[in-house]
Chains A and B, each alone.
Chain A
Amino acid sequence: MSRIESQLREYFDAGVERITADDVFARARVEEGGLERLHVQRSRPTLNPAWAAVGAFVITLLGLGGLAAVLSLAPNIVDGVDVGAAEIVESNGGTLSVWIVAALAAAVAAGITVWFVRRPRGGDGGDPDAEPEQGRVKVMETIESTEERAEMTEHRSRWPMIVIALLAVALVAALLWMTLAMRPNSPNAAPPEIVELMEEYNAAWNAYDVDALEALVTSGYRIHAPGGSFDHDIESVRWYLMPLLEGWEWQTTIGGSFYAVAQAPDSGTWYVSSEGSVVNRSGTDYPQNGVWRVVVADGGYLVAEHFFMGG
């Protein structure tokens, strides 16, 4: 027998508490007699931080997803406003990415909280050699003190902290991804000059200021719907369209991130779209899927054409 094997045998022979059939019968008598079992649970119930984190993640994800599903199935929930619950869900973060970020945040919070609550406390005046949660233990008719077994080898799993760390990294990554994805940082992000032009253009429309608008468009400017339902030049805008819209003080255009594609390199012509929206008094939030043709003129950019597609 090798040395390791003989040591194992000696160690377990010395450490294992043997139980006889008489012990079992004695215990059965105690329990039949209505006496409480004398041995007590030696440690308080604890929750593994990893399980807490995973549970919080799943519950949050299912909770938000379930809520969104219920709302999307519900009919319009606000009387007098033509908006469905599904639209509310969608416009208020009812997307999977938002749910995942929320679930990750909940998981990290739950994992860290449980870890802090259940971690052993040391150095607070107690016996430094005493193992936490370990004290005098009653087993059957005997009372044994475990204090003599002062030096204990503690095998503590690192998995809970690894899971929490991974969740925290995933949370940070998800937040970074969302932050970056929401920025107009794509290769098609509009140049700053075009963004400035479009913001001024929207501001002119919102202010019903045709003079300001005229300064931002070419002489051949046209605003029209692709289906041909309307088609106006700047004069038509001045005398017909703008007065009409001015009566709709409750409608406004909100600029968003602008994207632009050059028709050809160095062509000086750009097609621009945005993530903006048009909001009217019924609360409807129309995606502003308009497209503008922007050209270089007079040393700057001007709007040459406005394909109106939004509400």
Chain B
Amino acid sequence: MESDERQVFTRFVKETEPRLSYALAAAYGFEIGAEATADALAWAWEHWESLEEKRNPAGYLYRVGQSKARRYHRRQMFFPEIPAPEVPSVEPGLIYALASLSQNQRVAVVMIHGMEYSEREVADLLGLSRWSVRTHAERGMRRIRNALGVTTDVTN
């Protein structure tokens, strides 16, 4: 019986964890994002029965993750510059620009433009309307482009 439960939870984690990890990392930085995700998933396993009954478990866990992230009492957010060999093409200016966005703008930009999640998926996660998420993403991208001095997109 427990093994069935584990299988269901494992499937849930496979589906939900990427979205949760990227969103919380975008919101709070990589380190606190990872901590918050781990805490939220641990909470999910502990409260699995009640979580299963939620209409939007991913969105609920994002709220749990936000709450856990606040426990770290760190308002500053850190985005490290990944060593060059690992990610050769990331401009440092992009990281600064990303850090200057509001939390919702950052999450929307990363999730929609970076990780190619749909507006609906991001809206469910953040508990916002699709329109609101689209606005956050558009404004965030505009600010990043302005910060980088990009006037036209370059297609890979």
A42–B74 touching, CB < 8 Å? yes
**Chain A residue contacts of B141, Cβ below 8 A:** 4
B94–A25 touching, CB < 8 Å? no
Judged by a CB distance under 8 angstroms, whether A285 is at the interface is no
Judged by a CB distance under 8 angstroms, whether A183 is at the interface is no
B13–A20 touching, CB < 8 Å? yes
**Chain A residue contacts of B44, Cβ below 8 A:** 24
- Interface mask (B84-104 → A, CB under 8 Å = 1, otherwise 0): 001101111011101110000
**Chain A residue contacts of B64, Cβ below 8 A:** none
With beta carbons under 8 angstroms apart, the residue of B34, B83, B99 that contacts A153 is: B99
Judged by a CB distance under 8 angstroms, whether A6 is at the interface is yes
A10–B90 touching, CB < 8 Å? yes
Judged by a CB distance under 8 angstroms, whether B54 is at the interface is no
**Chain B residue contacts of A14, Cβ below 8 A:** 82, 86-87
A43–B73 touching, CB < 8 Å? yes
**How many cross-chain pairs have Cβ atoms below 8 Å apart between A and B?**
159
- Closest chain-A Cβ to B21's Cβ sits at a distance in Å of 5
- Complex alpha-carbon distance, A25 and B92, angstroms: 37
Judged by a CB distance under 8 angstroms, whether A207 is at the interface is no
With beta carbons under 8 angstroms apart, the residue of B6, B32, B33 that contacts A25 is: B6
- Complex alpha-carbon distance, A41 and B6, angstroms: 29
In the complex formed, the residue of B with least CB distance to A17 is B34
Judged by a CB distance under 8 angstroms, whether B144 is at the interface is yes
- Complex alpha-carbon distance, A16 and B71, angstroms: 20
- Closest chain-A Cβ to B153's Cβ sits at a distance in Å of 4
B110–A8 touching, CB < 8 Å? yes
A10–B87 touching, CB < 8 Å? yes
B76–A6 touching, CB < 8 Å? no
- Closest chain-B Cβ to A111's Cβ sits at a distance in Å of 15
Judged by a CB distance under 8 angstroms, whether B25 is at the interface is yes
Within 8 A of B (CB), among A10-25: 10-12, 14-21, 23-25
Given contacts A14-B87, A41-B71, 20 further A-B contacts (CB under 8 A): A5-B113, A7-B90, A9-B114, A9-B115, A11-B95, A12-B25, A23-B41, A24-B45, A31-B42, A41-B72, A43-B72, A48-B75, A137-B31, A149-B80, A153-B81, A153-B95, A153-B96, A154-B78, A155-B77, A155-B79
